[in-house]
Chains A and B, each alone.
Chain A
């Protein structure tokens, strides 16, 4: 169990700056998920931690020791690649034993470790096969097994589930979570899938444009996103944003007005953030809009509306009749209002806050 600390890490490839100054602390035994859109630098950051790249600026520490210039083999990390990177000419057993052989472990230990990991991952019957004779899910498990037998200080996962079908992905997600609970090891996991992030992580780090946007427990990020980007990125469908201006204790926009429970001082222009899950189509409400599209998910569903203030997504409950082209009313559940600065860079108010999060100036 080890911690990882990144301080002011920069990395560019040629003239393209990928990582633009990241400070991040991964606590010992934690399952940290790095999430963000393609090109946000999360994979590069993982490779920097593994030692496959070296930073242009900044430092990387493992357990407080500086490893910035240490080659990967001396960092005692194990990595599961998106492509699995299994050695095609070796059997499953040889693949898993390779790292241990190189570390000159006694033959007996290697064998017992490989067999233990294989049993854990249900690979025992496949040990003498070559990778090309395995299914995608089996290969994925071999890649995990290869990391597992090493018992490293830190596990690194680079989108390990992205090549699997949905059912297998859900299953492997469960196994990964169980594995983390059992081993209690430090794991850093890169994904662009917010569901994986929300379900697996002890903490989630959200990246965009090479910068860390916010880090925290999954619900913390969901409930109190630090800015417009984090708010949009987590939650599905995404949070609605409508421009508004303050008039007394009300936030008004085209065709709607909402009561603001907290005094926002002299602030005038803001953006209100409304999660579709906090909106309901009802006979009466703050918003009026025309239904453009409907997504039914079984018991409930989401309606995509056009309102005078802009597009709006709202949930509807079982039994509510919604059809395309219809004009409906939408109401906001109580205590569910998010307020952001008009440029989206900062959160001003989240539900339950007693006062604005930023110094409000006129």
Chain B
């Protein structure tokens, strides 16, 4: 590199760096995002400091922060709920708030949510908790007790006409927590471990089950479904948070009220309280300006804009006292609800509760378990997911082994090296290498390095606090011994492997069968509109598969899906597709067959068209019927073209993550998960067990490697 050019570049970069804008990351959308932009603009106006906003998808936000900040490429300020506070602090992502934070300015429970061991991090922005939305045209006064509520719901619900009293995302523990607290339950036992098996838990589950059984609540409700039902006047009440206000049709007259009190216990149904805060990154290069931005967003104009434009419930007392905010019934209702809410614990133990509770709730609502036993189910899952960390192992034997392998490989390369010098054999090597270099670099960075990294990681145990410990083959041993659960349980590697093999087999048979059948139909040159059919049949392949998957997911919905609608029209009892293994598996297979047959059709069509027509004529004269021609001529001649596609297709299907994740989502209880989706869950949904997930991936690789080695023999051209 020319030194003068480098100096020039540096010169250009320097002033820009000195005046670099603050980076602010958030996951806001819609009105909240608009309000944030306005508040930031006001900040820039007042201080002259430029701010660069970056909106990230909520699902990826946390992992993005965890990955970016330690490498110095993250934001200066980011907006996040307080529940991850402890995890963020353990990863050293946060800088404590400085003297700008005046404690008297904020609601006390918002501040306490941001305080850890006496140190406060970030500036509280807004409060988020659940409350009861109601349709004023149908509900004159919101319920105050569960008894009154049940009475109202009974009058409002007519499930046969698709009319429901209440809708909420019942399969999510975040929405179930108010019921648990209302019935007197708690999250952790005295030792601080998550508690699933308790009397209040069973009673809260029984209550929720009752709501569903009586048809007061629609089944399998997602956020989108809740919204569309409320906007269509088909549901009178909704449990949701402040974000829901932005989704309601302006034509609807609605109100918000705190959740009612449970009549039998006299306790309020307290929701979780989430405090959203502006956190300052520990690696910010302009900490003073960053603190000033975070502070400015939490009070004064910043808070006022977020409240009036973004419909947030501010944590800032001054804003809450302004007339405009006081007159806003929506804000004051949520402020009231927030005062009785339970701040979401930021203990790591909390993170471990979600999946077991989700499993228990779904199993309960789908009839897979009873209210009394659901807690035990969750507890069992909890124990399975949070296996005790394997003992540390010494990396020395492994390093020695790897070294020995490397030496052996080097020795072998030396022994088998060609006698002729490299330059003589490949006189144009330099130019050739130049051409190959870009592709080789891609292969190395995108395939070889991650592959080696994955193998390495499978030998480690990862703790949610970000530390890695070397455990040798313990992850593999645990997986292969199916430790902690029976072989017949969905969490077992062998169960999942069997499901995966069945999945690949059924799919490939259907893909090839259907593809071949359609190819045979389309082959006929006299078929009218052949080109049109061909394009139509290839379309499923051309559409991004996650769109197709989500479409099918909707078609399979228990109450609102078109497939059950069709069955109902035929007089067949609607099927709850994702509550039983067989139907859930079938739904996955149908979706993937829809996606997969066009490829096999195109391959078969090409192969069919390359078979000379006169072979069929010769066979016809020889006395072969159409079926015999297909069996004795078509099939054997298709084999060479079809076999590689079948092998390729089965490998694709084996790792078809999207369909499983989006259509059945592993339901019921993870039974339809395949190996890749299971590996994903271990890595990202079950306490960040990256090493365990990596071991899963290595095992997947081994299975596929064995499979392709076995089938390679079949595809090799025949030798005379």
Q: Identify which of B71-79, B185-193, B610-618 touches chain A.
A: B610-618
A57 interface contact, C-beta 8 A: no
Compute how far the CA of A159 lies from the CA of B620 in the bound complex, rounded to whole angstroms.
Answer: 19
Is B617 a contact of A52 with CB atoms below 8 Å? yes
A130 interface contact, C-beta 8 A: yes
B3 interface contact, C-beta 8 A: no
B633 interface contact, C-beta 8 A: yes
Q: Identify which of B238-246, B415-423, B621-629 touches chain A.
A: B621-629
With known contacts A73-B620, A79-B621, A130–B720 Cβ distance under 8 A: yes
Is B637 a contact of A83 with CB atoms below 8 Å? no
Is B623 a contact of A85 with CB atoms below 8 Å? no
Is B621 a contact of A52 with CB atoms below 8 Å? yes
Q: Which one of B612, B620, B637 contacts A89 once the chains associate, using CB atoms below 8 Å?
A: B637
With known contacts A89-B636, A89-B637, A129-B720, A78–B615 Cβ distance under 8 A: no
For window 16-57 of chain A, which residues contact chain B by CB distance below 8 Å? 50-52
B700 interface contact, C-beta 8 A: no
Is A87 a contact of B623 with CB atoms below 8 Å? no
Q: Which one of A73, A83, A150 contacts B614 once the chains associate, using CB atoms below 8 Å?
A: A83
Task: For A99, list chain B residues within 8 Å (CB).
Answer: 621-623
B619 interface contact, C-beta 8 A: yes
Task: For A85, list chain B residues within 8 Å (CB).
Answer: 612, 614-615, 617-618
With known contacts A83-B614, A85-B614, A102–B623 Cβ distance under 8 A: yes
Is B633 a contact of A87 with CB atoms below 8 Å? yes
Is B624 a contact of A102 with CB atoms below 8 Å? yes
Compute how far the CA of A89 lies from the CA of B636 in the bound complex, rounded to whole angstroms.
Answer: 7
Is B620 a contact of A72 with CB atoms below 8 Å? yes
- Sorting the interface of chain B by its residue count into under 10, 10 to 19, 20 to 34 or 35 or more gives 10 to 19
Task: For B621, list chain A residues within 8 Å (CB).
Answer: 50-52, 72-73, 77-79, 99
Compute how far the CA of A318 lies from the CA of B636 in the bound complex, rounded to whole angstroms.
Answer: 61
Task: For B614, list chain A residues within 8 Å (CB).
Answer: 81, 83, 85
Task: For A72, list chain B residues within 8 Å (CB).
Answer: 617, 620-621, 623
For window 114-158 of chain A, which residues contact chain B by CB distance below 8 Å? 129-130, 133, 146, 150
Task: For B637, list chain A residues within 8 Å (CB).
Answer: 88-89
Between B612, B615, B617, B621, the greatest number of chain A beta carbons within 10 A of the residue's beta carbon is seen for B621
Q: How many interface residues does A have (CB within 8 Å)? A: 25
Please give me the residue from chain B that is nearest to A47 by CB atom.
Answer: B617
Task: For A250, list chain B residues within 8 Å (CB).
Answer: none
With known contacts A89-B637, A133-B720, A83–B624 Cβ distance under 8 A: no
CB distance from B440 to the nearest CB of A (A): 37
Compute how far the CA of A226 lies from the CA of B625 in the bound complex, rounded to whole angstroms.
Answer: 44
Is A73 a contact of B617 with CB atoms below 8 Å? no
Please give me the residue from chain A that is nearest to B611 by CB atom.
Answer: A88
CB distance from A181 to the nearest CB of B (A): 24
For window 419-452 of chain B, which residues contact chain A by CB distance below 8 Å? none
Compute how far the CA of A325 lies from the CA of B619 in the bound complex, rounded to whole angstroms.
Answer: 59
Is A73 a contact of B720 with CB atoms below 8 Å? no
Please give me the residue from chain B that is nearest to A91 by CB atom.
Answer: B720
Report A156-200 CB contacts with B as 1/0, cut-off 8 Å.
Answer: 000000000000000000000000000000000000000000000
Report B616-659 CB contacts with A as 1/0, cut-off 8 Å.
Answer: 01111111110010001100110000000000000000000000
For window 76-98 of chain A, which residues contact chain B by CB distance below 8 Å? 77-79, 81, 83, 85-89, 98
Report B357-384 CB contacts with A as 1/0, cut-off 8 Å.
Answer: 0000000000000000000000000000
With known contacts A83-B614, A85-B614, A89-B637, A102–B622 Cβ distance under 8 A: yes
Task: For A150, list chain B residues within 8 Å (CB).
Answer: 622
Is A103 a contact of B623 with CB atoms below 8 Å? yes
Is B617 a contact of A87 with CB atoms below 8 Å? no
Compute how far the CA of A102 lies from the CA of B628 in the bound complex, rounded to whole angstroms.
Answer: 9
Compute how far the CA of A77 lies from the CA of B624 in the bound complex, rounded to whole angstroms.
Answer: 13
Is B618 a contact of A71 with CB atoms below 8 Å? no
Compute how far the CA of A103 lies from the CA of B619 in the bound complex, rounded to whole angstroms.
Answer: 12
Please give me the residue from chain A that is nearest to B616 by CB atom.
Answer: A85
Task: For A78, list chain B residues within 8 Å (CB).
Answer: 621-622
CB distance from B621 to the nearest CB of A (A): 5
Please give me the residue from chain B that is nearest to A102 by CB atom.
Answer: B623
Compute how far the CA of A51 lies from the CA of B619 in the bound complex, rounded to whole angstroms.
Answer: 12
Report B577-619 CB contacts with A as 1/0, cut-off 8 Å.
Answer: 0000000000000000000000000000000000010110111
Is A81 a contact of B617 with CB atoms below 8 Å? yes
Compute how far the CA of A81 lies from the CA of B624 in the bound complex, rounded to whole angstroms.
Answer: 17
Task: For B624, list chain A residues within 8 Å (CB).
Answer: 73, 98, 102
Is A98 a contact of B619 with CB atoms below 8 Å? yes
Task: For A52, list chain B residues within 8 Å (CB).
Answer: 617, 620-621
Is A73 a contact of B623 with CB atoms below 8 Å? yes
Compute how far the CA of A193 lies from the CA of B442 in the bound complex, rounded to whole angstroms.
Answer: 62
Compute how far the CA of A102 lies from the CA of B633 in the bound complex, rounded to whole angstroms.
Answer: 13
Compute how far the CA of A146 lies from the CA of B619 in the bound complex, rounded to whole angstroms.
Answer: 11
Task: For A77, list chain B residues within 8 Å (CB).
Answer: 621
Task: For A102, list chain B residues within 8 Å (CB).
Answer: 622-624, 628
Task: For B628, list chain A residues within 8 Å (CB).
Answer: 102
Please give me the residue from chain A that is nearest to B640 by CB atom.
Answer: A89
Compute how far the CA of A71 lies from the CA of B636 in the bound complex, rounded to whole angstroms.
Answer: 24
Compute how far the CA of A340 lies from the CA of B486 in the bound complex, rounded to whole angstroms.
Answer: 101
Is A73 a contact of B636 with CB atoms below 8 Å? no
Task: For B636, list chain A residues within 8 Å (CB).
Answer: 89
Task: For A83, list chain B residues within 8 Å (CB).
Answer: 612, 614
Task: For A130, list chain B residues within 8 Å (CB).
Answer: 720
Compute how far the CA of A78 lies from the CA of B623 in the bound complex, rounded to whole angstroms.
Answer: 10
Please give me the residue from chain A that is nearest to B615 by CB atom.
Answer: A85
Compute how far the CA of A52 lies from the CA of B622 in the bound complex, rounded to whole angstroms.
Answer: 12
Compute how far the CA of A89 lies from the CA of B612 in the bound complex, rounded to whole angstroms.
Answer: 13
Task: For A71, list chain B residues within 8 Å (CB).
Answer: 620
Compute how far the CA of A103 lies from the CA of B625 in the bound complex, rounded to whole angstroms.
Answer: 11
Compute how far the CA of A89 lies from the CA of B637 in the bound complex, rounded to whole angstroms.
Answer: 7
CB distance from B100 to the nearest CB of A (A): 82
* Chain A contact residues, CB within 8 Å of chain B: 50-52, 71-73, 77-79, 81, 83, 85-89, 98-99, 102-103, 129-130, 133, 146, 150
A-B contact pairs, 7 of them (CB 8 A): A72-B620, A79-B617, A83-B614, A85-B612, A87-B633, A88-B637, A150-B622
Known: A87-B619, A87-B633. 13 other contacts (CB 8 A): A52-B621, A71-B620, A72-B617, A72-B621, A72-B623, A73-B622, A73-B623, A78-B621, A85-B612, A98-B619, A98-B632, A102-B622, A133-B720
* Chain B contact residues, CB within 8 Å of chain A: 612, 614-615, 617-625, 628, 632-633, 636-637, 720
For the complex of A and B, the 7 pairs showing the least CB-CB separation, nearest first, are: A99-B622, A85-B618, A73-B623, A85-B614, A102-B623, A89-B636, A72-B621
